[in-house]
Amino acid sequence: MQRERLLKVLVIGDLGVGKTAIIRRYVHQVFSHHYRATIGVDFALKVLHWNQGTVIRLQLWDIAGQERYGNMTRVYYREAVGALVVFDMTRASTLQAVLKWKGDLDAKVALCNGQPVPAVLLANKCDQQRQGLCAKIPKLESFSKEQGFLGWYETSAKDNTNIDKAIMCLVEHIMAGE
Ligand code: GTP
Ligand code: MG
């Protein structure tokens, strides 16, 4: 008998950091330089054959960066079991915004057992390193620990760097906690 698990995972972070691009890369293996802001929320589904007995239906909730200024996040966050919090390595302001997003998440949702929803930090657009990364980005190891993230990854939706790894880190943690 196959066991099926539905996991709701949020993808949050400021405008234009690459949330939609990361999801499109992960689910559809495509990337586009064209930017169209997400309105409200979008959804994507990835089916993972986890092990012999288990299929995971990973439901990714792609929440518009604009929603930080709206009042719908409480509704979108309901029943989430994990989150990817994304910033853009070339814009320090988007790392500042990670504090706001993580705070919003922890204030509005928790696991059934009262624990915070596990979250992984994604430093996206690492392919732009040659154009000079923002010097104001602090040491992510300590930042990520202080802010209660499971871990952090430098990612690129463009070059397909570390996206699978970051999502696997989150899913493995979620499945281990079941
Ligand atoms: P909102 O929907 O407004 O919240 O933005 P978003 O976080 O979904 O950003 P989106 O994925 O639409 O990406 C914004 C822009 O950044 C687009 O032009 C993408 O092509 C570009 N982009 C996203 N990821 C990367 C990346 O890893 N490297 C580079 N070079 N560009 C990226
Ligand atoms: Mg988007």
Q: What DSSP line would sit under 97-143, residue for residue?
A: HHHHHHHHHHHH---TTSPPPPEEEEEE-GGGGGG---TT---HHHH
Residues of the chain with pLDDT under 50: none
Residues with CB under 5 A from ligand 2 (ion): 19-20, 38
pLDDT of residue 134: 60
Q: What's the angle, vertex CA 41, arms to CA 38 and CA 43, rounded to 5? A: 105
User: Which ligand 1 atom is the nearest neighbour of the CA of 31?
Assistant: 20
Q: Looking at ligand 1, which atom is closest to the CA of residue 63?
A: 4
- Say if the ipTM goes beyond 0.90: yes
Ligand 1 is surrounded, with C-beta below 6 A, by 15-21, 32-33, 35, 37-38, 64-65, 124-125, 127-128, 156-158
Cα–Cα distance, 87 to 13 (Å, whole number): 6
Residue nearest to atom 31 of ligand 1 (CA): 125
What is the side-by-side strand order in the sheet with 119-124? 41-51, 54-63, 3-12, 82-88, 119-124, 151-154
Residue 132, both tokens: 């000079």
pLDDT, residue 169, reads 98
Query: What pLDDT does residue 2 have?
Result: 82
pLDDT confidence of residue 94:
95
Q: What pLDDT was estimated at residue 130?
A: 60
Nearest CA to ligand 1 atom 30: 125
Residue 65: C-alpha distances to residues 85, 129, 143 (Å): 11, 23, 21
- Identify the pLDDT of residue 136: 58
Confidence at residue 113, expressed as pLDDT on a 0 to 100 scale = 93
**Atom of ligand 1 at shortest distance to CA of 32?**
20
